[in-house]
Amino acid sequence: MSISKIGVIGAGLMGNGIAHAALTAGFDVILVDAFEAALPKALATMTKNMDRQVAKGSLTAEAKTAALARLVTSTDYHQLKDADIVIEAVPEQLEIKKAIYDELAPVLKPEVLLASNTSSISITKLATLSGRPDKFIGMHFFNPVPMMKLVEITRGMATSDETEATVHKLAEKLGKTVAAAQDSPGFIVNRILCPMLNEAIFALHEGVGTVQSIDAGMKLGASHPMGPLELADFIGLDTLLSVMRVLHAELGEDKYRPAPLLVKYVEAGWLGRKSGRGFYDYSTTPPTPPK
């Protein structure tokens, strides 16, 4: 199957990043979000990030103009009727994803592929909810999508060989390296990464170290480019909590129990960079831990 037009559902951090990567790779993109206000914000983000690429010489000004000209934004799922593949990139809540799949069912062509950018939810479960399990697959990108080279591709139990092969080729055309992952909670990266971030939050709560010492310890002692608390803020503490809850529920082991401090931060609305406060206060330059 040939892919030329890509639909992306969700204009947030991941959705606009996926759209950006697809546009600069030469694809036509339809970006759909239920909230109209999210669309100009996504366009502004893409434009700013493409301007950075132009300034660095990794994208020409002409290529940027051509890329943005291939973008259509809408709140109407019917705009996706001509898409060859639709990539869903909405929050990690099963009921939200199911509602979207229900709305897509009468709109999409029978042959259209459907991928989810889920970072932790069972692909087999989502495929069943989609009503097209043979044409459903997991396609998990990493933030920031235009820069990060990895995409995890995960088959559900009913995913066809043709679907997997088509999506694998698409990922390569997007300039990504594929890591094939089994349909297990958290797949590869989040199964390993998120418990580490969660453990760092336990260590902070128990007074093992401060925010600065924990992050410095892992950056300087383990050569991590970002400390675990800084990375948790970057990912979004609500996203981290969602992943930990899935791991805990699906795997049933206490080592996956979300740190109580993580739960409290999310309840307080302290979600990290996107809310302006998490383990760091982003109103300061450089960001510093709040007192």
Residues known to be catalytic: 119, 140, 152, 190
Among residues 220, 212, 214, 198, the alpha carbon closest in space to that of 266 is found at: 198
In this structure, are residues 20 and 145 in contact, taking their beta carbons and an 8 Å threshold? yes
Q: At 284, is the secondary structure helix, strand, or coil? A: coil
CA dist., res. 80 & res. 112, Å (int):
10
Report the DSSP beta bridge partners of residue 73.
Answer: 31
Q: Which two tokens stand for residue 286?
A: 């450089």
E-assigned strand segments in the chain? 5-9, 28-32, 71-74, 85-88, 113-116, 136-141, 150-155, 177-181
CA dihedral of 131, 136, 142, 143, whole degrees rounded to 10: -40
| Angle (CA) 65 67 68, round 5° | 70
Q: Could you write out the DSSP letters of every residue in 166-226?
A: HHHHHHHHTTPEEEEE-SSTTTTHHHHHHHHHHHHHHHHHTTSS-HHHHHHHHHHHH--SS
